[in-house]
Every structure is written in structure tokens, then in C-alpha cells.
Chain A
Amino acid sequence: NAGVTQTPKFQVLKTGQSMTLQCAQDMNHEYMSWYRQDPGMGLRLIHYSVGAGITDQGEVPNGYNVSRSTTEDFPLRLLSAAPSQTSVYFCASSAMNTEAFFGQGTRLTVV
């Protein structure tokens, strides 16, 4: 099993550009989520999904879209990148009420 695969590992964007962060898991987990990590702010939940076809907003959803067309994939889309979205992004998956498995993270810089 590969676990949670997150791509890319590093990305530099110009302000206003759009991009998609990919996340895939092969553990048949129902629950998937995206977090951003900023110094002193911990891990803040952006969007999450409790199953295919179901998504919901987390703590900081503005500027991001998600979709869950399959159990395995949960991409995160930045619609129009802003410098405030410079961060480290983590995707995580879990079975309901069990431990979360994290991807390796994407370090995004918006200039």
C-alpha cells in the first residue's frame, strides 16, 4: 500500500494563477481532508469529505474548492492564488473515528 500520496511536493505560483493539489489514498478510507499549516497556527482544516460525492467546508475554506468523485481521490483547487495562500498543505485520510494518515505535504509559495 502506498498510503496517502500527495503531489506536487513543491510549487511556486504567481498571484492570480490557479492550480490543483492532488491527493490519493489506497486504503479505502471514507474520510479525507485538507489542512494548511502556518507557523504558530497549527493545522487548519480547509475542506473535508466523508465519502464520495460529499464535501463540506472546514475552518478556512475561502479561495479553495474540492471535489470527491471517487473514494480514492480528493483534489484541492486554488482558484486564483494569493500570497496569503503561501503555506504547507497536507492531505489526510482515515476510516471514520480512527487515526488519520497524512501525505508528505506540499510546500506552496505564491509570489
Chain B
Amino acid sequence: GQQVMQIPQYQHVQEGEDFTTYCNSSTTLSNIQWYKQRPGGHPVFLIQLVKSGEVKKQKRLTFQFGEAKKNSSLHITATQTTDVGTYFCAGRSSNTGKLIFGQGTTLQVKP
């Protein structure tokens, strides 16, 4: 079945350092979504990528979708303490429509 792998599982950075999390799917995806979950909260949608090779930016966050539509990345420039949380990628199957999440990357930022 469809699997979505995400690395690393944890990342500790000093405030101001950059951060990247990577996502790989075992199957081609119709789209990929990214979510952020603050400690004790629920996942909140950040962005959706649909096109092969697509790059989108939200302030200090840059999202990429691979050419083969099987991998994606989230890069945060100059992290801040407000970036703390767990970042999930989620792949939507074009066949079934189900949304499969990666294991998530938990980001800790030291001030």
C-alpha cells in the first residue's frame, strides 16, 4: 500500500539556523500537503503542492514538490521559537483519495 516516509524524526536547532524536513512516497501522488502541529494541538494545514517541480513560499518557509511527484521538502530559513512543533507531510492517493501522513518531524528551537 501507499507509504509516506519523513525524515528526520527530530531536529534541534539554535534560533536563527535553518531547518529542512524531507518526505518520500512509495507511489506517485496527486498532490502533497504540509501540516504543522503545535504541542498539545491538532494538525493545521500549511500548504498544498500539485504540480511536478512546484515551489511555493510562505515568508520564511519554502515548499518543494519533486519532478516525479513522489518526494517533497519543507525548508525554514532562520528559525524562530514560534516555529516549534511537529511538521507533517501528507500524500493524497489519486486512486482512492485517502490522505496518508508521514511520521512527522519534531522541531525544537533553542533561543
Contact = CB atoms under 8 A, between A and B. Distances in A.
Contacts of A41: 103
Contact of A103 (B42, B48, B96): B42
A100 B97 contact: no
Interface in A81-96: 90, 92, 94, 96
A55 B43 CA distance: 23
Tell me which of A35, A41, A42, A50 has the highest count of chain B C-beta atoms within 10 A of its own C-beta: A42
Main secondary structure on chain A at its contact with chain B? strand
Task: For chain A, give the interface size range.
Answer: 20 to 34
A2 B92 CA distance: 25
Task: For chain B, give the interface size range.
Answer: 20 to 34
Nearest to A58: B98
A94 B99 contact: yes
Given A90-B42, A102-B44, A42 B97 contact: no
Interface string A32-51: 01010000111111001010
A44 B99 CA distance: 10
A105 B98 contact: no
A1 interface: no
A97 B33 CA distance: 10
A58 B101 CA distance: 11
Interface of B: 1, 6, 9, 30-31, 33, 35, 42-45, 48, 88, 90, 92, 96-104
Interface of A: 31, 33, 35, 40-45, 48, 50, 56, 58-59, 90, 92, 94, 96-105
Given A43-B88, A97-B30, A100-B43, 20 more contacts: A31-B97, A31-B99, A33-B98, A40-B103, A42-B88, A42-B101, A42-B103, A44-B101, A45-B99, A48-B98, A50-B97, A56-B98, A58-B98, A90-B43, A96-B97, A97-B31, A97-B92, A99-B45, A100-B33, A102-B43
